[in-house]
Amino acid sequence: MTRITMQDIANALGISRVTVWKAFNNQPGVSLSLRENILKKAAEMGYAKPIESTPADHTDKTVSLIVSRPDSSTFWTNIIHRMAQELSCCYRINLLYTYVPSVYTDGFTLPEILTNGTVQGAVILNVYDEKLVSLINSLSLPKVFLDTVPQISARSLTGDLFLLEGQETMYQITSSVISRGFKRIGFIGDIHYARTNADRYEGFCRCMKDHGLTPDPSLCLTHSIPIFSYHQELSRFLSSLQKLPDAFVCVSDYVAHFLQLYFAEHRDLIPGGILITGYDGSSEYSNVQNLLTTANVKTGLLGKRLSTQIVYRMEHPDAPYELTYINPQIIYRDSKLF
């Protein structure tokens, strides 16, 4: 005869297994009528052990997703949705959105749910303010970071760090541009914003030098750029150049699509066209989709990987922290626009 479990009873009543456990152990949070229904259903189904000694295996856990900018792009939401799906379906863990501002302001404190026992772990992504990252880093929760700010070293983080590999990937992308005969090459991307951005710029510079070329600072826009000011900043920078480079290596497809918008309005500046590369492989920007040489980040698999890592970190809080690089596939395309 098949042994009846609490999950069977929960499924029959359309409730959670935790609720069944609470009813069997006289725990708060279950109404009298629901408790009676649960016990009645248990008797009907022949459940032989109506009391469990420990709730440990039956308690739903919650992981906080600490994220800035609720208007995140498809790149980020794809990661988040897959992570929520994996945690729920495979581990019965809830994912709770916890928003923090994009920029730290005096007096800001982290939400109470991060310190009052509501959540048992945290995944941090799309948070790129040094003070905010430092506040989050001080939490005693098990943590997994996807990227971080360049001002904070990996060894100082109190959690695991995942990075999209940038140095070698951007080295190869830049090398593909040089192999086509282009020598005056600019770089666009705020290298102070994210560790991955700084890595990509370093890969660009190293590739240029290895090919006997000197990166021209006047052709590179690398200073801090407010996240919602890219279009204005890029337009101002490009308009200030007396002579455009032959190609631009961009820190992301997001940046590349702004360049395409600018040159679509100023085609007279590039009678022979211009070559632009990206990174991320995003399908969100239709004006450059399937046109650029780029690094194809599999966001769904990345979300799944983050979910397995936070589960591991929660189960092994004392294990040494890990630094993991994700190597995206480079997709080579013509990349020459107009």
Contact 287, 261 (CB under 8 A): yes
φ and ψ at residue 51, rounded to 5 degrees: -130, 130
Reported confidence tier of residue 3, pLDDT bands at 50, 70, 90: confident
Report the 10 Å Cβ neighbour count for 319. 11
Please tell me the predicted confidence (pLDDT) of residue 57.
43
Query: Distance between CA 305 and CA 122 in Å, rounded?
Result: 14
What pLDDT score does 38 carry? Answer: 85
Alpha carbon distances (Å) from 233 to 204, 212, 240: 21, 30, 11
CB 149 within 8 A of CB 321: no
> Does residue 130 have a pLDDT over 60?
yes
Instruction: State the pLDDT at residue 108.
Output: 95
Mean pLDDT check: name the lowest of 31-35, 74-78, 189-193.
31-35
**Residues 140-167: pLDDT tens digits?**
999 999 999 999 999 999 999 999 999 9
pLDDT at 49: 52
**Both structure tokens of 165:** 């590999």
pLDDT band at 70 (very low <50, low <70, confident <90, very high): low
User: Of 12-16, 23-27, 52-56, which one has max mean pLDDT?
Assistant: 12-16
Q: Is the pLDDT of residue 194 over 70?
A: yes
Judged against a pLDDT cut of 70, whether residue 313 lies above it is answered with yes
Instruction: Using pLDDT thresholds of 50, 70 and 90, give the confidence band for residue 305.
Output: very high
Between the alpha carbon of residue 31 and those of residues 6, 60, 178, the distances in Å are 18, 19, 71
Instruction: Look at 58 and 230; give whichever has higher pLDDT.
Output: 230
DSSP per residue, 97-140: EEE--SS--TT----GGGTSSS-SEEEEES---HHHHHHHHT--
Amino acid at 216: D
pLDDT (0 to 100) of residue 132 = 97
Summarize pLDDT for 225-281 with one digit per residue, the tens.
Answer: 988 899 999 999 999 999 999 999 999 999 999 999 999 999 999 999 999 999 999
Asked whether the CA dihedral 291, 297, 301, 304 is positive or negative, the reply is: negative
Which pLDDT band, with edges at 50, 70 and 90, does 172 fall under? very high
Q: Which of 30, 32, 28 is nearest to 10 (CA)?
A: 30
β-sheet bridge partners, residue 164: 326
pLDDT bin (cut points 50, 70, 90) of residue 45 is confident
| 8 A C-beta contact, residue 121 and residue 313 | yes
Closest to 100 in 3D by CA, of 63, 117, 125: 125
pLDDT band per the 50, 70, 90 thresholds, residue 58: very low
Q: Does 53 have pLDDT greater than 90?
A: no
Q: How far apart are CA 141 and CA 156, in angstroms?
A: 15
Name the pLDDT band for 60 (thresholds 50, 70, 90).
Answer: confident
pLDDT at 50 (0 to 100): 43
Q: Would you list the DSSP string of 198-237?
A: HHHHHHHHHHHHHTT----GGG-B-S---TT-HHHHHHHH
- Model confidence at 21, in pLDDT bands (50, 70, 90)? confident
Identify which of 242, 227, 10 has the alpha carbon closest to the alpha carbon of residue 102: 227
Distance CA 48, CA 42 (A): 8
